[in-house]
Amino acid sequence: MRPLPFYFALTTRGRAVPHRTFFAFILPSIVAMLLFIALPIVSVIVQSFYIEHQQVLVEVENCQPFGGCTKTVRVDAAATAEIKASDPLGRFNGLGTYLNRSHLAVDEIGVIFASNTGLGDIVARIYNLPFYKALAFTLAFCAIVTPLAMLLGFAIALAVDALPRLTKGPVIFFSLLPMIITPLIGSLILYWMINPQGILGATLQQIFHDPNLSLRGSPALTWLTLLFYGVWSNAPFSFVVFYAGLQTVPGDTLESAMIDGASRWERIRYVIIPHLAPLATFVALVQVMDNFRVFEPIVGFSAEANATSLSWLVYNDLSGDSQLFGSAGATSVLTIIGIIILLTPVLLRTWREFNQKVV
Amino acid sequence: MSSSVAAKRPLSLNLIIGGFIVLWLILAAFPFIWTVWGSFKVQADFFSRQSWWNAIFGPYTVQQTGAPFTGDGYYGAWVTRDFWRAVGNTAIVTVSVTVISLTLGTLGGYALARSGQRYAFWILIIALVFRAMPHITLVSGYLLPFFQLNIWGVLPTSIIVLVAINQPFTLWMLHSFFLSIPKDLDESAMVDGCSRFEAFRRVIIPVMWPGVVTTGLFSFLLAYNDFATTSMLLSADNQTMVPKISSFLGSVQEAGNVMYAVAAVVSATVPLFILVLFFQRQIVSGLTAGAVKG
Amino acid sequence: MKNMLRLSASAGVLLLTAGTAFADCGIAAGSVRILSNDFDALRLVNKTAEECASGTVTVTSNPTAEHKNLQVPALSISPAEYTVAVVANNSIVPLLNDDLIRPLDDLVAQYGQDLMPNQLIKIDGKVMAIAFMGNSQHLFYRKDILDKAGIAEPKSYEDILVAAKAIKDAGLMEYPLAASDKPGWDLAAEFVNMYLGTGGEFFTPGSAALAIDNPDGMKTLEIMKAMTAYMDPDYLTFDASGIQAEYEAGNVAIMNEWGSIAGAILDDEGAADGVVANTVLAAAPTVNGGTIPAVALWWDGFAIAKNISDEDAAASFQAMVHAISPATVAANPDVATWLVKGFEPGPAAVGVIATANAGARAYPMQPYMGLLHTALSSELAEFMAGSESAEQALADVKAAYETAAKEGGFL
pLDDT tens for residues C233-261? Answer: 889 989 898 899 999 999 999 999 999 99
A43 touches chain C (CB under 8 A): no
Distance CA C258, CA A318 (A): 25
Other C-beta atoms lying within 10 Å of the C-beta of residue C206: 12
Strand partners, B232: none
- Asked if residue B25 and residue B142 are part of one domain, the reply reads no
How many C-beta atoms lie closer than 10 Å to residue A273's C-beta? 14
Q: Give the contacts of A23 (CB within 8 A, at least 6 positions apart).
A: B111
Domain range for B146 is 76-291
pLDDT of A3 > 70? The answer is: no
Q: Which tens digit of pLDDT belongs to each residue from C166-219?
A: 999 999 999 999 999 999 899 999 999 999 999 999 999 888 999 999 999 999
* C254-258 and C177-178 beta bridge pairing: parallel
What is the percentage of chain A residues whose pLDDT exceeds 70?
94
In this complex, the residue of A60, A67, A216 whose CB is nearest that of residue C237 is: A216
C-alpha span between B269 and C364 (Å, rounded): 44
Across chain C, what does the average pLDDT equal? Answer: 90
Same domain, B134 and B279: yes
Lowest-pLDDT range, A165-169, A296-300, C161-165? A165-169
Task: Determine how β-strand C279-282 pairs with β-strand C120-123.
Answer: unpaired
Q: Cα–chain-centroid distance for residue A121? A: 29
- Please judge whether B42 and C269 are an interchain contact, meaning their C-beta atoms are less than 8 angstroms apart: yes
Chains that touch C (3 or more CB pairs under 8 A): A, B
User: Is residue A172's pLDDT more than 50?
Assistant: yes
Q: Do B9 and B52 fall into the same domain?
A: no
Q: How far is CA C108 from CA A78, C102, C296, C320, in A?
A: 24, 12, 27, 12
Residues B145 and B251 in one domain: yes
Total domain count, chain B: 3
Q: Do A162 and B17 touch (CB under 8 A)?
A: yes
Give C257's DSSP letter. Answer: E
pLDDT score, position B289: 42
Angstrom distance (rounded) from CA C321 to CA C323: 5
Distance from CA of B150 to the nearest CA of C (A): 8
Phi and psi for C137 in degrees, rounded to 5?
Answer: -80, 145
Render C342-389 in DSSP notation, one character per residue: T----GGGHHHHHHHHTTPEEPP--TTHHHHHHHHHHHSHHHHHTSS-
* Contacts for C284 with CB less than 8 Å, ≥ 6 apart: C136, C137, C138, C139, C193, C197, C256, C293, C294, C295, C355, C358, C360
- Facing residues of C368 across strands? none
Per the CB < 8 A criterion, the answer to whether C337 and C356 are in contact is no
Closest to B208 (Cα-Cα) out of B168, B176, B167, B184: B176
Distances (CA, A) of C33 to A301, C11, C50, C87, C99: 36, 20, 10, 14, 19
* One domain, residues B93 and B138: yes
Q: Which residues of chain B neighbour C186 with C-beta distances below 8 Å?
A: 252
Residue B8: pLDDT band (50, 70, 90) is low
Enumerate the residues of chain B whose CB falls inside 8 A of the CB of residue C269: 42, 44, 60, 64
pLDDT of B272 reads: 83
Please tell me the distance from the alpha carbon of residue C296 to that of residue C137, in angstroms, as a whole number: 7
Q: How far apart are the first and last CA of chain A?
A: 29
The alpha-carbon gap from C286 to the nearest alpha carbon of chain B, in Å, equals 21
Could you tell me if B153 and B185 lie in one domain? yes
C338 beta partners:
C133
Check CB contact under 8 Å for B9 and A241: no
Residue in chain B closest to A162 (alpha carbons) equals B6
pLDDT at C290 over 80: yes
Q: What whole-number distance in Å separates Cα of residue B8 and Cα of residue A259?
A: 13
Are A232 and A175 within 8 A, CB to CB? Answer: no
Residues 6+ apart with CB under 8 A from C116: C339, C340, C341
pLDDT winner (highest mean) among A85-89, B111-115, C327-331: C327-331
pLDDT (average), residues B230-240: 92
Is A230 or B192 the better-scoring residue by pLDDT?
A: A230
Cβ distance of A305 and C384 shorter than 8 Å: yes
Cβ–Cβ contacts within 10 Å for residue B189, how many?
Answer: 19
Regarding whether B56 and B172 lie in a shared domain, the answer is no
Shortest alpha-carbon distance between residue B65 and chain A (Å): 23
Contact A251 B52 (CB under 8 A): no
Does the pLDDT of residue A359 top 70, yes or no?
no
**CA B34 vs CA A191, A192, B56, B112, B142: distances in Å:** 13, 11, 9, 45, 39
B44: which strand partners? none
Q: What are phi and psi of C88, to 5 degrees?
A: -130, 180
Residues B162, B229, single domain; the answer is: yes
Residue A10 pLDDT > 50: no
pLDDT at B125 over 90: no
Asked whether the beta carbons of B209 and B285 are under 8 A apart, the reply is yes
* Mean pLDDT (whole number) for B12-18: 91
From B79, which residue of chain C is nearest by alpha-carbon distance? C4
pLDDT at position C215 is 94
**Which pLDDT belongs to residue A83?**
87
Closest CB to B25 among A17, A162, A174: A174
Q: Reply yes or no on whether the pLDDT at B290 is more than 50.
A: no
A201, closest residue in chain B (CA to CA): B52
- Looking at residue B9, what is its pLDDT? 78
Using CB atoms, pick whichever of A302, A316, A319 lies closest to residue C182. Answer: A302
Measure B153 CA to nearest chain A CA, in Å: 16
Q: Return all residues near B201 (Cβ < 8 A) that are at least 6 apart.
A: none
User: Structural domains in chain A?
Assistant: 7-17+129-357 (1.10.3720.10)
Chain C nearest CA to A125, separation (Å): 11
**What percentage of residues in chain C have a pLDDT greater than 90?**
79
Cα(C161)–Cα(C409) distance, integer angstroms: 41
Q: Count Cβ–Cβ pairs < 8 Å, chain A vs chain C.
A: 192
Write the residue in C77, C258, C263 that is nearest to B253 by C-beta.
Answer: C258
Whole-angstrom Cα distance, residue C183 to residue A314? Answer: 16
Cα A13-A15-A18 angle, rounded to 5 deg: 140
List alpha helices for C229-368, DSSP H: 240-248, 262-266, 310-323, 326-331, 350-357
- Entry pTM: 0.90
- Residue A298 CA to residue B193 CA, distance in Å, equals 57
Position A112 confidence tier, pLDDT thresholds 50, 70, 90 = very high
| Judgement on whether residues B189 and B264 belong to the same structural domain of the protein | yes
- Give per-residue pLDDT as tens, C104-139: 999 999 999 999 998 999 999 999 999 999 999 999
Query: Across the interface, do B47 and C245 touch by the CB < 8 Å criterion?
Result: yes
Band of residue C314 on the pLDDT scale cut at 50, 70, 90? very high
- Which domains are seen in chain C, by residue range? 2-134+298-354 (3.40.190.10), 136-296+363-407 (3.40.190.10)
- Do both B275 and B215 map to the same domain? yes
B201 and B279 fall within a common domain = yes
The chain-wide mean pLDDT, for chain A, equals 86
Task: State the pLDDT at residue A12.
Answer: 35
ipTM score of the complex?
A: 0.87
CATH of the domain at B118: 1.10.3720.10
Q: How far is C5 from chain B (nearest CA, A)?
A: 10
Do B101 and B140 fall within a single domain?
yes
Interface contact flag, C400 A97, Cβ < 8 Å? no
- C289: helix, coil or strand? coil
Q: What is the pLDDT of residues A210-226, one digit of tens each?
A: 888 888 778 899 999 99
Q: What is the mean pLDDT of residues C88-97?
A: 93
